[in-house]
Amino acid sequence: MESNQLIGGIPTVILVFGLTEFSKRIGLKGAWLMIISRVLGVVFGIAWHIVSVGLPVTVADWITTVVLGLAIGLTASGVYDFLNNKFPSS
């Protein structure tokens, strides 16, 4: 994995976090916020990986792409949950 893949995923996590917060403000609550953050993370993570590396050709390439998307989704939802627990809204 190249270093630009690690650095490039950070803005994706921030994007997912922001969109999840937006979803919260339009009325989503509870488990739906967790689901939306993970789904957005996976979608944006996979899309970002395809744009930066190219369309996966082999099964190994697809596995790498999906794992990266899952990692970004889980990271984004974990950061969201951590901050939400640490600084609950009033």
d(CA 57, CA 36): 28
Structure tokens at 67: 């794992």
Report if pTM > 0.75.
no
pLDDT (tens digit, 0 to 9) for every residue of the chain, 90 residues total?
454 555 556 777 788 888 888 988 999 888 888 888 888 888 887 888 788 888 889 999 888 888 888 887 777 777 767 777 777 765
So what's the pLDDT on residue 37?
Answer: 82
Q: Are 17 and 76 in contact (CB under 8 A)?
A: yes
d(CA 43, CA 48): 9
d(CA 13, CA 11): 5
